[in-house]
């Protein structure tokens, strides 16, 4: 679960620890103002008043207690909890993607993570059915506003590591890779000629759940000549979605084309799909411009394999084509 609330302390005249507690768990009675038993709690954070103006702190109690920096006025609290048996991923307040292990929780104050990967409070499994705020004592005012509650399942369906679109004669080859997927349903490939209106040109089923890298490919067999713009609509099983960055290509039927398949690739061989290319016009160089010797292996599936004389070390290389006055360059990543 993903909880967010703005906490404002207009005044805190008492100098007292644990004046209030935020609790998440099960069977939290609204008629009982006592601090809930740990056996009912998944997570708990308390508030300290410092007795000076509107200064306060958040505090984790119990084993390995921890206290935040001194705060004043208003802060946005983000509380992320994973009450499952598998790793979850979520978008942080810094707009990055982070992971959270099973039965753990993170606590953010504005854009700073105060508590990371904290184990659940109860030693027994508990549900995330209730959330409560209990004022225990002291003199001061605490205001809560801007509540947001959502399931972290729907925060981001995939982590896209790359998305490429390359023209191959009169077609466009698209390929992409995900570092992980969570509850993902499909990728919808969309195309535009003016960057204003995008239409669907194909769909590719997603893995659904994956903790490792996954590669995907799609061929647009009928793109119009000229400028074409592509993007992915990455759809979750609950119909939430995000868009990838837009890739632009120029389709020029009849011109030699060059495309590296499975890029990044291994250091043993580089698979190239080419159209109208004289293989002798290919050149592979390091990032420093040094030539890399290789031999060619032409496959019956339309791909040409460049097999280096010595296995390539990880890094970036450049594959170049210089043929009939046409020059093309593409990056090759080796991992």
Confidence label for 154 from pLDDT (cuts 50, 70 and 90): very low
Confidence label for 262 from pLDDT (cuts 50, 70 and 90): confident
Instruction: Give CB contacts under 8 A, 24+ apart, made by 115-122.
Output: 115/45, 115/60, 115/66, 118/43, 118/60, 120/41, 120/42, 120/43, 120/83, 121/25, 121/38, 121/41, 121/42, 121/43, 121/44, 121/62, 122/25, 122/38, 122/39, 122/40, 122/41, 122/42
Q: Residue holding tokens 């389709």? A: 251
- For the chain, give the mean pLDDT: 87
Q: What is the 3-state secondary structure (H, E, C) of 175-208?
A: EEEEEEEECEEEEEEEEECCCCCCEEEEEEECCC
Share of the chain above pLDDT 70, in %: 95
Q: Residue holding tokens 């009675």? A: 29
Domain definitions of the chain by residue range: 2-154, 158-253, 255-335
Least confident of 170-184, 189-203, 304-318, 320-334: 320-334
pLDDT value at residue 301: 67
pLDDT value at residue 148: 86
- Give the domain 2-154 fold: Jelly Rolls (2.60.120)
Rounded mean pLDDT, 187-191: 97
- 90 three-class SS: strand
The pLDDT tens digits for 225-257 are 899 999 999 998 888 888 999 999 988 877 767
- 87 burial via Cβ count (<10 Å: 0-12, 13-18, 19+): middle
pLDDT value at residue 152: 60
pLDDT value at residue 305: 87
pLDDT value at residue 274: 67
> Cβ(105)–Cβ(115) under 8 Å?
yes
The better pLDDT of the pair 260, 332 is held by 332
> What pTM did the predictor assign?
0.54
Confidence label for 275 from pLDDT (cuts 50, 70 and 90): low
The better pLDDT of the pair 162, 326 is held by 162
Rounded mean pLDDT, 51-76: 89
Pairing outcome for strands 257-260 and 15-25: unpaired
The pLDDT tens digits for 196-211 are 899 999 999 998 888 7
CA distance 35 to 119: 19
- 191 burial via Cβ count (<10 Å: 0-12, 13-18, 19+): buried
The pLDDT tens digits for 114-127 are 999 999 999 999 99
Same fold, 2-154 and 158-253: no
The better pLDDT of the pair 97, 135 is held by 135
pLDDT value at residue 138: 79
Q: Is the pLDDT of residue 157 over 70?
A: no
pLDDT value at residue 160: 86
pLDDT value at residue 300: 67
Confidence label for 34 from pLDDT (cuts 50, 70 and 90): confident
Confidence label for 44 from pLDDT (cuts 50, 70 and 90): very high
- Give the domain 158-253 fold: Immunoglobulin-like (2.60.40)
CA distance 233 to 244: 7
pLDDT value at residue 231: 96
CATH class of 255-335: mainly beta
The pLDDT tens digits for 81-117 are 999 888 887 888 887 778 889 999 999 999 999 999 9
- Both ends of the chain: CA-CA distance in Å? 36
């Amino acid at each position: 679960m993903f909880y967010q609330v703005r906490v404002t302390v207009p005044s805190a005249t008492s100098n007292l620890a644990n004046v209030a507690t935020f609790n998440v768990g099960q069977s939290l009675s609204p008629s009982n103002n006592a601090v809930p038993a740990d056996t009912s709690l998944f997570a708990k954070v308390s508030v300290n008043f410092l007795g000076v103006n509107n200064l306060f702190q958040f505090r984790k109690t119990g084993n390995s207690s921890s206290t935040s920096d001194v705060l004043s006025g208003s802060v946005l609290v983000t509380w992320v909890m994973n009450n499952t048996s598998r790793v979850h991923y979520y978008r942080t307040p810094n707009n990055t993607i982070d992971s959270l292990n099973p039965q753990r929780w993170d606590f953010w104050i504005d854009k700073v993570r105060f508590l990371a990967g904290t184990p659940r409070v109860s030693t027994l499994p508990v549900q995330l059915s209730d959330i409560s705020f209990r004022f225990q004592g002291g003199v001061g005012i605490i205001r809560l506003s801007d509540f947001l509650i959502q399931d972290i399942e729907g925060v981001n369906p995939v982590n896209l590591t790359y998305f490429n679109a390359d023209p191959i004669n009169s077609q466009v080859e698209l390929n992409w890779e995900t570092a992980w997927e969570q509850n993902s349903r499909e990728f919808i490939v969309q195309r535009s000629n003016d960057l204003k209106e995008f239409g669907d040109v194909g769909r590719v089923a997603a893995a659904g759940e994956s903790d490792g890298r996954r590669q995907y490919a799609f061929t647009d067999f009928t793109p119009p000549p000229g400028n074409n713009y592509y993007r992915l609509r990455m759809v979750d099983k609950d119909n939430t979605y995000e868009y990838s960055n837009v890739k632009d290509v120029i389709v020029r039927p009849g011109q030699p084309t060059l495309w590296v398949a499975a890029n990044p690739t291994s250091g043993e061989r580089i698979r190239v799909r080419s159209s109208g290319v004289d293989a002798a016009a290919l050149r592979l160089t390091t990032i420093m411009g040094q030539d890399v010797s290789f031999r060619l292996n032409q496959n019956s599936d339309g791909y040409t394999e460049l097999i280096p004389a010595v296995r390539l070390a990880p890094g970036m290389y450049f594959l170049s084509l210089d043929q009939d006055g046409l020059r093309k360059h593409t990056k090759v990543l080796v991992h």
